[in-house]
Structures are given as C-alpha cells and as structure tokens.
Structure 1
Amino acid sequence: MKKIQAETLGFVPQKDIVYNKLLPYADKLDNESNDILARIKGNLGRAVQLRELWPGVLFWTRKLSTYLRLYGRKFSKEDHVLFVKLLYELVTIPNLEISMMQSFARLLINLLKKKELLSQDDLELPWRPLYELYEKILYSKTEHLGLNWFPNSVENVLKTLVKSCRLYFPVSATQEMLDEWRPLLCPFDVTMQKAISYFELFLPTILPPELHHKGFKLWFDELMGLWVSVQNLPSWEGSLVNLFARLANNNIGYVNWDPYIPKIFTRVLRSFNLPVGTSQMVVPRYMTNSYDIGHVVLWISSMLGGAENPAQKQLNGLFSSIASFYHPSNNGRWLVKLMKLLQRLPASVVRRLHRERYKKPCWITPIPTSHRLTDDDVTHFVESMKQPVLMAMFSKTGSMDAAQALQNLALMRPELVIPPVLEKTYPAMETLTEPHQLTATLSCMIGMARSLLSGGHHYPEGPAHVLPLLMRALPGVDPNDFSKCMVCLDILDNAYMAPPCNLYIKISGRLSAFLLHMAA
C-alpha cells in the first residue's frame, strides 16, 4: 500500500492521517492533496521572494496549517525540512509584528511536534536568533514605559517554540550558551534567576552518547554542585530542578545520579512543606518556592532501575515517612502536593515502561538494557506505593487522585493492587451507613476496570469478580443519592463498554428490567 501511494504521490509521505483511508472518496485524496500542496509551495515561495508578508505569506501559511489538519504531514522529508527552515526564518525576522510572529511560531511548533520524523542529521537550527527574540520580548526595556505592548500569550508561545527547536541546535550550542550566560551566575544577584531560566529553557539535552562530552557534561558538575551547596530554597532552584529532570528523562542510563540520590529525595521531602513537631510548625518561606511536582516525578521515575536500584530504596523511605499524612483524618495545604505526587508518579513510570518496551524505535538513543526496568523493579515500585494509595482512597480531597494512581498501578501489577481494593469494595456495597466508603471504593474500581476485565496471566481471576460487582451495584442506582447513583451507573457503563463477554449476557435481562423500573 505504501509503495502504491508513493508512486501516486511521487514521494514517501512523512506521516499522513490514517483515518482518511476510511473515507468513501479515499482514492481521490492523493491527487487532491498533491494539487493543494503544489499550490501552497508555489505561492508561498513566490510571496516570500516578493517579500509580501501581508497578505501573501500569512495567507499561504494559514493554508499550510489547514493542510496539516486535513492531511497530516503528507509531504516528503525534503519538503518538511524546507518548510521548517522557511518558518524559522520568518519567525526570526527583526521587528516583525507580534501577531504575525505568533502565527508563524504556532505553525512551526506544529511542524516540529513529531520529533521522530526529523533527526538531528536532517535539520539544524541556530539558537541565537531565538535567544535574541526571547530577550527582546520578555525582557523588554520599553514595555513598562508603555512604548510596546505584548499579548499575554506570547510568553507561552515563545517557550513552546524554544522547546520544539532546541532538539535541533548545533552541537557547539551548549558551549556557546555557557559562554553567554555563565557570567550571570551569581547567587547574590537578581541575574541568577535569569541565567538559570535561560539554561532550563535553551540547553539541549538530547545528543548521541559519543557527543555527551560536548553536551551536558560541560555543565552538569558545575550546576549540580551549585544546587547542592545552596540550602535556603531560592527562587531559581525550581528551574534548576526542572533542568535536571529533563536531563534525567532524556539520558536514562548515561548520567550517574547515585552520589546525589539521598540529597535529591531529602530536598523533595522538604519541598512538600509538611508540618513537623508538636507545634506543627511550618516555615513560611518554603511555601512559594517549592518544586514543580510534574518535574519531580519525572526525575524520580527516570532514576529508577540499575544494578542495585538505589532510587527505589530512597523512594521506599520517602513513602514510609509520608504515609501517615495520607490518612483520611489529615488535611492541609500540603495535602494537595502529596496527592499530586501519588497521582502522577505511577503515570510517569507507565510512560517509561511504554518507552522501553513498546514504543517504536527511532533515531533517538534508546535506554540501555542495563538500566531498563525489570519485572522485579516494577513489583518493588508498586509495593512501595500500595499502602499510601489505599489510605488516600478515603481522603477529604476526594478519591479521584487515588483512583488514577490505582489505574496505573493496576496496569503494571494488577495482582498486587486489585485484591485489597476488592476487599474494601464488597463490604462497602453491603453496608447502608457509610455511603462515602461506597462511592470512594467504586470510583477506584472504575479506574481499574480495564485491568480487572482483561484478566491475563497476571490476574486471571479478574473477570470472575465482574458479575458479583455488577449485581451488587444494581441497588445503588438510587435517584435519591445522586453521587452514589452516578458511580454505580459508571461502573455498569464501564462493564458494558468492554469487549463482548458471555458473562454479561446473564445479567442483561435483569439490568434492563431494573433500569426500566427506575425510569418509570
């Protein structure tokens, strides 16, 4: 099929939309897309040669954006590279109108979104024009005087653009950035925040292993020593942690974190700002400059694995020390961060397992076999999180965070997670005096429905619990208790939306009669 399509188009498409093949006029799409693409290329090139930004270039870049929505990246790799280079030159035009720059930037971000399509050998983009544009807009000397006006969305657009382009910065970019911003590194000056934010945003962290000496090894020891030496949680420390988390995620197995792992988990624990002592003292200066939980879980999940798995040992200690804070009787501002940690950490480990075991290989360096997560590593991870998650099911902030955590834990090890939740669910469905327990446990069962129904060699007895759960859920469809009614309908919906199974035919008649009676 691909050979026939390539003969019709005249090139091998980068990545088209597969669902277009299901359309009734799918046989006409190749000729139609070829005609539209030829007009876009011809008119866009002509408008650029004539320097007609408005309406020519802007009109045909919007046509290209529409083409991407309708047909995907249905053009050759050579055209893809040329489109990216052209849009990059348009974005970095000096004194370009902000609205026009944002339009070009969003299209360029869309072209660079699938990083597996273009390798670093196919494309190289200079970093300095982006830096000058970022400096001019975000650190403008005239905006506060009212001489310039920038929309609120321009900062996010520029940051996303830099994140998309930094993968294709030249190898020499790291040393050039260090020469440019290292003079700003003074912990006692306001320029420190600016320098660290630039490092976090611009430094490339994806390079082949043979080029690491020109990449992160130029700055890792220096910035890590700076982070270890500073103890008062300054405002720039969060940006530094974000940089380390990105480095760890992009270079699993190539960075030696072992000497710093105890310090890392100590700092993470301190950033939660938990009440300590008999007076429940909280240090107020730690309230604002805490770490971003999304980057913290990325950092932790990237350090797991290895010969002795030291990160897992520290993670066990971390959850042992904070387990009591997940008790349903506890509440406070710190609980929000703890629940986010509980929700996002299993999801991050699931993404890493997908990357290691199932993701299609591309030009990006894969994770070494020695540092991939084994079945024992996954089991230890699930065991370390099981107890806090089971307590968090009945938290005062709700059970949704615990349900999402249990969903991801059940994808990894259903035999460890599903049985204790079932032990809490069956008694909750029999009692009439604790409706909160019923809604919390059923919400968690809904999250684990896929793992329960699929069975498999890890938990083959899972489907046997479906019929008893559904039969016990029928009386819960009570319009007088709206929350309980919705949860019971959700679990029925999840069961019936699963792949067909003869098990459900047994209760279909009872369920239909029951629902008709409730509707009447």
Structure 2
Amino acid sequence: MYNSKQTDHDVSDNDLQKPNIYNQYLPYYESIKRQSLESFDEICENLSRLIQLQELQPGFPLWSSKLQHFISLYGFSFTKTNHIKLINFYLSILSIKNLNYVNAKICFDILTQLTRTRMITRNDLIIDWRILYIWAKLVLFNHDESYSLVSMPKHSVNSFLFCVSNCRPYFSATATQEILDEFRPYLCPFDTVCRDVMSYWDMFLPVHLPPELHHQGFKLWLSEFLDIWETVCNNPAWEQSLLSLFSFVAWCNIGYIDWEPWLARIFTKILKNLSLPVGNVELEKSTENYSIPVVATWIVAMMGNHSLCIQYLRDLLTAIKNFYHPSNTGDFQTELVSFLSMLAQSFVDRVYL
C-alpha cells in the first residue's frame, strides 16, 4: 500500500482526489501542502508496517485515527491509486479471522469515509460482498451479545450499516445472482428466518448497476419480489424490508423500470395500510404501518416517462382528502400529514438529484 515519499511529493494538485479547497486560501498553503504529504507518508508507512509485523495492536487504532484526522484536516489529499489501496487495505483487515469488534468498527468507519464520495468508479474498484455478509451475521445477528458473551462497541451496528450502504455500489455484476442463490433456499414466508432473508436482500442486493448491467441486477428479482409482496396480505414484519428495497431500487433507477403493471396494486396496498377509520370506527392494527418516507420516495421515483403514477397519486389523495379535515381526528392524522410532507421533500430531492 505504501509508496515512496519521493513519488508522493512529485504529485501535483490535479492528481489529488479531493483536497480541502479552503486550505489553498490560507497564507501558508505551501507549508500545509508539505505537511499533508509528510503526514500521509507517515500514516501509510505505519499502516503497512502493521501488516508486515502481523501485529494490529496498538498501532492499528492509533494510525487509523490519524488517517481520519488527516482527512478531516486536508480532505482526500492523496492520489486515486492510494485511495483504492486504502480501501483494499481496510477490506483485507476485515477479512482477518477472529478480528475483534473494536478493530472491525474502525474498518467500518474508515471504509464509510473513503467510499462516501463517488470519486472511485466501479471500473476502479470491486468489493466482495461476502466480506460484509460475514460481518452482518456477526454484528446484526449475534446471539452471544444478549448473553454478555461478547462486548460490542457503541454504535457498531450503525457503523456497519453505513459501511454496507456505501460499499454496495461497488459489488460485482454477478453479485446479484450470487446473493439470490445464497438466500433463496431459506425463503419461506411462514418461517421466522424469512425476516432475516429479506433484511439481507434489502441490505446487499446491488441496485446501483449501470443500464447495460440491469439484466444482471434488478431484472433478476423485481417481478418475483413484487408477486411475493402482493400475495402476502397479513402485513408480516419482513414486509418493511421488502418495501424499503422496492423504494431504493426505484430511486436508483429512475426511468429504467416500467411500474405500470403494478401501479394499481401498489397504491391499493398503500391506501389499505394507512388504516383509515370507517365511519366512527377506527381500525386497530397489531402490525406496523409502512414507513412514510419510504413510501413517499417510492411514489416520487415512479413518476415520469408518461407514467400513470401521477393519476394514481391524484386518486389516492382524493380518497384520503376528507381525513385531513380538522373534524377528523385520530392517530392516523400524524401519518397523513407526514405523508404530504415527505412527498414534497422527496420531490425536491428528485429535482436536485
């Protein structure tokens, strides 16, 4: 991973990924630039030495924190080659067997930071989803933690989820089929493991593939999953993960998916899930309602290309219009107000997408 200092010092500003633009307006910019190069050299050298000595403690947390501090001060003031090497370095650390959770969380945080901006393309980097899948089982479905057999760092779950979200666009073109093959044998709507399967699919299925790879992406599973969603009517817990997946794939592939065959069923299920009162009787539900931000994002993402989505949305708003009247009070009003708010927010987000 480490390059010689002479090579780094010969790098021009145009070769750097995304340095902190505000540093160049300081009167001592040349000194800052020199310090950043020297600091990055030192960090890379010591991170490389950790691998050579096969000894992560205590150097790994120390130099990883220095790398985070470096990025906060100087931005991504290193070359694209070094950027990719840093990502691969921390992925290789995650591949170490019996890696403790503290070091794993450090890797999650660093990878989240390094992949946060899209300065690295799919042509430059491919990430093996199985590395993160192994940690998903250890972090999200670890039964030892409830018995105090392991101690997990604070916010490790959130760190992992952010890491997966940022690494997801770099999964290989064949990852979709591999993930489907891995979890399809466990897909049974009447088994509790189905909830875990849906969570894994929502977490790992690549939805950012370019148009030329769509036949290896959502086209392998979208119709099947929509049929499953339509068939199950008892609002199971795993339905939330499925809905989140639909919303995300729609948002990441606006204009590439023909939603027309499913629009009527989608809006019918959305209206039903609002659980609006009939007459003076307010319906009681033992299960959770759909996530309003997820539903709003999905609806806005389906608009366009002369789609009937606008007409179905108009019909939906007409159907629930009376429930916005001040005389109609109940728990349902909070969700109705949130629905309008999130629709507007999602539309603004799409305009600036």
TM-score for both structures, normalised by structure 2: 0.93
Aligned twin of 1:290:
289
CA contact (8 A) 1:11 1:76 kept: no
Task: Tell me how far apart the structure 1 counterparts of residues 145 and 34 of structure 2 sit (CA, whole Å).
Answer: 49
Amino acid across the alignment from 2:24? K
Query: Could you give the per-residue CA deviations for residues 23-55 of structure 1, whole angstroms, max 9, x where no partner exists?
Result: 232232222211111111112111221122112
Matches within 5 A, 1:15-414: 15-114=18-117, 116-151=118-153, 153-276=155-278, 278-285=279-286, 288-307=287-306, 309-355=307-353
Greater RCO (Cα-Cα under 8 Å, separation 6 or more): 2
TM-aligned CA distance change 1:151 to 1:35, over 3 Å: closer
Query: Could you give the per-residue CA deviations for residues 179-204 of structure 1, whole angstroms, max 9, x where no partner exists?
Result: 11001111111111111111000100
Task: Tell me how far apart the structure 2 counterparts of residues 144 and 190 of structure 1 sit (CA, whole Å).
Answer: 19
Amino acid across the alignment from 2:326? P
The DSSP-based 3-state class of the residue aligned with 1:74 is: strand
Task: Tell me how far apart the structure 1 counterparts of residues 155 and 66 of structure 2 sit (CA, whole Å).
Answer: 23
Deviation, 1:340, is 1.5
Query: Could you give the per-residue CA deviations for residues 141-177 of structure 1, whole angstroms, max 9, x where no partner exists?
Result: 4334432233452222221111111111111111111
CA contact (8 A) 1:9 1:30 kept: no
TM-aligned CA distance change 1:47 to 1:83, over 3 Å: same
Amino acid across the alignment from 2:280? S
CA contact (8 A) 1:8 1:30 kept: no
Which deviates more, 244-253 or 46-55?
46-55
Task: Tell me how far apart the structure 1 counterparts of residues 11 and 81 of structure 2 sit (CA, whole Å).
Answer: 18
Task: Tell me how far apart the structure 1 counterparts of residues 43 and 150 of structure 2 sit (CA, whole Å).
Answer: 34
Deviation, 1:86, is 0.5
Task: Tell me how far apart the structure 2 counterparts of residues 90 and 330 of structure 1 sit (CA, whole Å).
Answer: 57
Amino acid across the alignment from 1:13? L
Aligned twin of 1:442:
none
The DSSP-based 3-state class of the residue aligned with 2:189 is: coil
Deviation, 1:14, is 0.9
Amino acid across the alignment from 1:39? E
Task: Tell me how far apart the structure 2 counterparts of residues 321 and 213 of structure 1 sit (CA, whole Å).
Answer: 37
The DSSP-based 3-state class of the residue aligned with 1:53 is: coil
Task: Tell me how far apart the structure 1 counterparts of residues 346 and 21 of structure 2 sit (CA, whole Å).
Answer: 28
Task: Tell me how far apart the structure 2 counterparts of residues 191 and 182 of structure 1 sit (CA, whole Å).
Answer: 11
- CA-atom RMSD, angstroms? 1.8
The share of aligned pairs that are identical, in percent, is 37
Gaps of 5+ in 1: 1-5, 356-520
The DSSP-based 3-state class of the residue aligned with 1:54 is: coil
CA contact (8 A) 1:11 1:75 kept: no
Task: Tell me how far apart the structure 2 counterparts of residues 55 and 77 of structure 1 sit (CA, whole Å).
Answer: 28
Which is helix-richer, 1 or 2? 1
The DSSP-based 3-state class of the residue aligned with 2:57 is: helix
CA contact (8 A) 1:9 1:34 kept: no
TM-aligned CA distance change 1:325 to 1:152, over 3 Å: farther
Task: Tell me how far apart the structure 2 counterparts of residues 145 and 354 of structure 1 sit (CA, whole Å).
Answer: 47
Query: Could you give the per-residue CA deviations for residues 325-360 of structure 1, whole angstroms, max 9, x where no partner exists?
Result: 2223333221221121111211211121122xxxxx
Task: Tell me how far apart the structure 1 counterparts of residues 77 and 263 of structure 2 sit (CA, whole Å).
Answer: 45
Deviation, 1:210, is 1.6
Task: Tell me how far apart the structure 1 counterparts of residues 75 and 309 of structure 2 sit (CA, whole Å).
Answer: 41
CA contact (8 A) 1:48 1:57 kept: no
Task: Tell me how far apart the structure 1 counterparts of residues 95 and 160 of structure 2 sit (CA, whole Å).
Answer: 11
The DSSP-based 3-state class of the residue aligned with 1:75 is: strand
Query: Could you give the per-residue CA deviations for residues 210-255 of structure 1, whole angstroms, max 9, x where no partner exists?
Result: 2111111111111111011111211111110100001101111111
CA contact (8 A) 2:94 2:131 kept: no
Task: Tell me how far apart the structure 2 counterparts of residues 162 and 154 of structure 1 sit (CA, whole Å).
Answer: 12
The DSSP-based 3-state class of the residue aligned with 1:15 is: strand
Query: Could you give the per-residue CA deviations for residues 240-291 of structure 1, whole angstroms, max 9, x where no partner exists?
Result: 0100001101111111100111111111122222112x23230323xx3221
Query: Could you give the per-residue CA deviations for residues 102-121 of structure 1, whole angstroms, max 9, x where no partner exists?
Result: 1221111011100x211111
- How many residues matched? 345
CA contact (8 A) 1:200 1:240 kept: yes
The structure with the largest alpha-carbon Rg is 1
Amino acid across the alignment from 1:324? N
Gaps of 5+ in 2: 1-8
Task: Tell me how far apart the structure 1 counterparts of residues 335 and 75 of structure 2 sit (CA, whole Å).
Answer: 39
Query: Could you give the per-residue CA deviations for residues 407-443 of structure 1, whole angstroms, max 9, x where no partner exists?
Result: xxxxxxxxxxxxxxxxxxxxxxxxxxxxxxxxxxxxx
Amino acid across the alignment from 1:70? L
Deviation, 1:10, is 6.9
The DSSP-based 3-state class of the residue aligned with 1:18 is: coil
Amino acid across the alignment from 1:280? V
The DSSP-based 3-state class of the residue aligned with 2:15 is: coil
Query: Could you give the per-residue CA deviations for residues 459-518 of structure 1, whole angstroms, max 9, x where no partner exists?
Result: xxxxxxxxxxxxxxxxxxxxxxxxxxxxxxxxxxxxxxxxxxxxxxxxxxxxxxxxxxxx
Task: Tell me how far apart the structure 1 counterparts of residues 297 and 222 of structure 2 sit (CA, whole Å).
Answer: 18
